[in-house]
Amino acid sequence: MSKESRTIIVMPAHNEAGNIERVITELRQAVQGLDFVVIDDYSSDDTAAVAERMGAEVVRLPCNLGYGGAVQTGFRYAIQRGYDYAVMMDSDGQHDPRSVPALLEVVESREADVALGSRFLGRMEYQSSWVRRVGMSIFSHLVSVATGRHFTDATSGLQALNREVLEFFSRDNYPVDFPDADTIILLHYAGFRVKEVPVTMRERISGESMHASLKPIYYVFKMALAIFIVMLRQRTHVNAVRPDTARHERG
């Protein structure tokens, strides 16, 4: 990782008081010297207080924006403070912080604009629900067809992004609910390069996943609709232009 570039870890969190302390501890051991911010998505527990006690920067949202809204808040935080790169990772312990350097190496070397962590190229240390597994398989296939490139883990939330992508997502280009496969298609249409990197994903430490109960079924239908909308927007050329391309066209 380049010492000249500024990098921040963005961690959206909702009711993760039982997990955030261990996640921050592991993160500091794995990637020393990087800044990190916890976006507390209006938690009803002590998530923010625990994160602050651990020395983290914390942004407390005044209402529950959902996962996508919390992530976009983190991206805007990174842009406003002049960071060159950001790593998006969950606060529940599922994403292994030791995978972060490999992700950053891809974006810092300019191999890609986004490094997408793949549990299927790396290691998956837990068993997800059958609905979730079917959804992951379907959406990885749809993304592969839409982009013309093979993706194994299109729903991964462990990612490294360069500043240009952060600026793109900081505007009105980021889903507020479940940002997953649809964002990869959006990035492809906007001219950004996405590369998968082997990572390790584990079982969450404690608490309930946002995909628990009937949520996976909702997720599958929601993501299918989101992918359809992204592809429809591309056909009408609405808001799917890479920033430098847009500047060039206006010039």
The reply to whether 208 falls in a domain is yes
49-89: pLDDT as tens digits: 999 999 999 999 999 999 999 999 999 999 999 999 999 99
Letter for the amino acid at 235? R
Rounded CA-CA distance 84/19 in Å is: 28
pLDDT(211) > 90: no
The reply to whether 54 falls in a domain is yes
What stretch of H or E contains 106?
Answer: helix 100-108
Higher pLDDT, 46 or 225: 46
The reply to whether 51 falls in a domain is yes
Domain span holding position 15: 7-250
The reply to whether 1 falls in a domain is no
Higher pLDDT, 128 or 33: 33
The reply to whether 147 falls in a domain is yes
The reply to whether 126 falls in a domain is yes
Domain holding 60: CATH number? 3.90.550.10
Report the domain count for the chain: 1
Q: Quick one: which of 174, 178, 182, 187 has its CA closest to 115?
A: 187
Strand blocks (E) in 34-178: 35-40, 57-60, 85-88, 114-124, 159-162
The reply to whether 2 falls in a domain is no
Tokens linked to 13: 């969190």
124-183: pLDDT as tens digits: 887 777 777 887 898 899 899 989 999 999 999 999 999 999 999 998 778 776 678 889
